[in-house]
Amino acid sequence: MFSSHLESNKQMKPLFILLLNLSMLLSGALAHAGDPRELGWEDLIPADSTFDDPFAALDENQLYNLTIVARHRQQLAGEQAVADAFKADADRAETELEQAGIDIDGLLARRAEITEKRRARAQETNIELDRTTIRLPGYMLPLEFNGTGVTEFLLVPWVGACIHTPPPPPNQIVHVVLDADDAFQSSGLYEPVWIEGEMRARKATQNLYMTDGSSDIDIGYRLQAKLVEKYVQ
């Protein structure tokens, strides 16, 4: 009888080890399930919103040359007087573009189409991030204060956004709200910070007051912050 129990135990041992390993893996997965997902700003743009953008292949100088050519052709089409210096500049720009193998006519014909696609892409949010706990770095643009602490702000990807430069597209702005007891002690405008909390893909418009007036800013995301801390790479 003892030997039969021993054989039974030997058969059960591999199963026990397998179940133990599975239990450990599961408990490890559950332990990390609540960890925030660290994002970059490109993650806020939906992956399926990409499209063939021929203008993206042009460098800064080529884009400038294309602008010169387009303006020159517009003046000719409108039978406007064209200064000799500008005509010479347009001829130079067109020659450089042609030497680079750039299809000027094809690009100019698609300007309106690509502009609309870029506008639509800028409005789209990544719904896969909705209700996801995330961690994201950026620059703080304060909106509301509790004493000296910030309780509400816009997180933007670069310094000067929304005030000194045109606002980023809506899917590159996060409206961050903190509980009053968790107000962040900011040292100034555009302070670099990390934020953590549950992301919501929720479009909204926020009125931003500035020294020279106010402006409505379109926003693609909202986050109830669990943590806001000074940026440390």
Of 16-30, 159-173, 187-201, which gets the smallest average pLDDT? 16-30
Q: Does the pLDDT at position 209 exceed 80?
A: no
- Choosing from 95, 122, 149, the residue where a domain stops is 122
What pLDDT does 87 receive? 94
| 208, amino acid identity | L
**Residue 38 maps to a domain:** no
What pLDDT does 117 receive? 83
Q: Which of 180, 175, 227, 184 is nearest to 202 (CA)?
A: 175
Mean pLDDT across 87-112: 96
- Choosing from 122, 147, 175, the residue where a domain stops is 122
197, exposed or middle or buried, with CB in 10 Å at 0-12, 13-18, 19+?
buried
**Is 0.75 surpassed by the pTM of this model?**
no
User: Helix or strand or coil: residue 111?
Assistant: helix
Residues 134 and 173 placed together within one structural domain of the fold: yes
Calculate what percentage of the chain has a pLDDT beyond 70.
81
Mean pLDDT across 98-113: 95
Q: Does the pLDDT at position 21 exceed 90?
A: no
The mean predicted confidence, pLDDT, of the chain is 83
Q: Which residues contact 170 (CB under 8 A, 6 or more apart)?
A: 122, 123, 125, 203, 218, 219, 220
What pLDDT does 3 receive? 43
Residues 115 and 144 placed together within one structural domain of the fold: no
What pLDDT does 18 receive? 47
CB contact at 8 A, 102 and 59:
no
What is the token pair recorded at 196?
Answer: 């953590």
Domain residues for the domain of 223 are: 126-230
